[in-house]
A and B are shown apart, each in its own frame.
Chain A
């Protein structure tokens, strides 16, 4: 059975803006899938429907055997524990230390009181330091997050996600604010997590070339609809132009291609 299934999902904001229209797809465990499409096409909305940061207006979403759209508070918490998220702007608590931010990944699994006062077990702390070391951030564990560079912050974001022991990592434009070198580091980490730990990755990307290099499967979204869903190999120039509603030589990727 598929890990994640969208069945005819639509999302309308304020009864006017149609962010998603009749979106259906499913993702198997262990896949690395990129979603590409123009700004405002509904990629972020799609991703946020999975963990109900955004509520779908119509349709059904199933994750790991659970119905996401009808989940009650307790079930939703279980779903959110199993789906970690990485953000374009990192969304760390800047004034807390790096290791505290990583430990935030455990909050969903802790009692209210121990979460409120920030009481973590020795095993959790040891794991946080181990993950930070894997991310190459062992030295920065006690620094405040606002002292870090963008690339380092995103690695803290990944560490926080891993701390959840998720089945699925949702990445919303993980490299859109990073330079090419940091971008590669982040994408390499995601790919390694996908391959070594068998964690499924669903990644929103602006960079078509990056999507083609790292993922086996690509979903193209335009104006809230899926216009392409298939293996990376079949993503031709024509399909790319259909996704971005562009003609030849309109895209930055055409510059290299020409």
Chain B
């Protein structure tokens, strides 16, 4: 077989790819070694302490009879937390949808408004919800409203960003067509953009509900409300068995919501 210049060049591509992968691998190892050295992290020590940690978990974190008795109390707080998360997400989603219309390339009013919308969304999104909660505590105190607004701001920021992308992706074609029929702005939104972007919007809203249930636990610790408060209470009383039951109940709730939202998505899409 004759090896022409062309096939030689092709062989070089495979050779080069192999070299690239090897280099990336070596660099990763070097970064890990360097970082361990600086932070005095020892991988072997870490692994070695694992069995002891497991043993502590088993002896302290398995819910006992006393913890089981607290289930009604835990469930009622869990319910409150879940409902607040759903309420926050739905309110934020409605506002974020209309806000994102101003930030999308397809429906934007003008370039300046679009930039402002994107900056505002980035600001709300990039301040962590825990920080929002700490800031809002000054105005609302340890109140469920503090948690509500803390979650609301991050959810609003994130959903605005997500909806802008969804709208840009799905609706350029039908908006152009509706423009050509003479439809006005609101008609385009409700007849074209909303139906086209519905799958993306619903997926994001369900995802945010899950995320917010997780986050509200942490925020509840700060604001002394909901399931987070309960966790904090048991933890500080060194009642680890009950505290771990709280964590388990949150995990179960998130799993249930995930299952339900998958079902909902399948039916709607």
Contacts and interface: CB of A to CB of B under 8 A. Distances in A.
Contacts of B176: 53, 87, 91
Contacts of B34: none
B195 A104 contact: no
A203 interface: no
Contacts of B178: 104, 107
A170 B181 CA distance: 12
A93 B191 CA distance: 8
B187 A115 contact: yes
Most buried by B among A80, A81, A93, A117: A93
A53 B175 CA distance: 11
B195 to A, nearest CB: 5
B139 interface: no
A107 B174 CA distance: 13
Interface in B125-183: 173-174, 176-183
B174 A77 contact: no
Nearest to A92: B174
**A interface residue count range (under 10 / 10 to 19 / 20 to 34 / 35 or more):** 20 to 34
B196 A107 contact: no
A77 B184 contact: yes
Contacts of A51: 179-180
The secondary structure that dominates the B interface is helix
B25 interface: no
A108 interface: yes
B180 A104 contact: no
Given A53-B176, A91-B174, A104 B186 contact: no
B196 A95 contact: yes
B190 interface: yes
A90 B195 CA distance: 16
A229 B183 CA distance: 33
Given A85-B177, A91-B176, A91-B177, A107 B195 contact: no
B183 A87 contact: no
A91 B178 CA distance: 9
A51 to B, nearest CB: 6
B192 to A, nearest CB: 5
B122 interface: no
A116 B192 CA distance: 10
Interface string A160-192: 100010000010000000000000000000000
A109 B173 contact: no
B190 A160 contact: no
Interface in A67-97: 77-78, 80-81, 83-85, 87, 89-96
Given A53-B176, A92-B174, A108 B181 contact: yes
Interface of A: 51, 53, 77-78, 80-81, 83-85, 87, 89-96, 104-110, 112, 115-118, 157, 160, 164, 170
16 contacts: A80-B182, A81-B182, A85-B177, A87-B176, A91-B176, A104-B177, A104-B191, A104-B192, A107-B181, A107-B187, A108-B181, A112-B186, A115-B186, A115-B187, A116-B191, A118-B190
Given A90-B173, A92-B174, 9 more contacts: A53-B179, A80-B181, A95-B198, A96-B195, A107-B178, A107-B181, A107-B187, A110-B187, A115-B187
**Top-3 shortest CB links A-B:** A108-B182, A91-B177, A80-B182
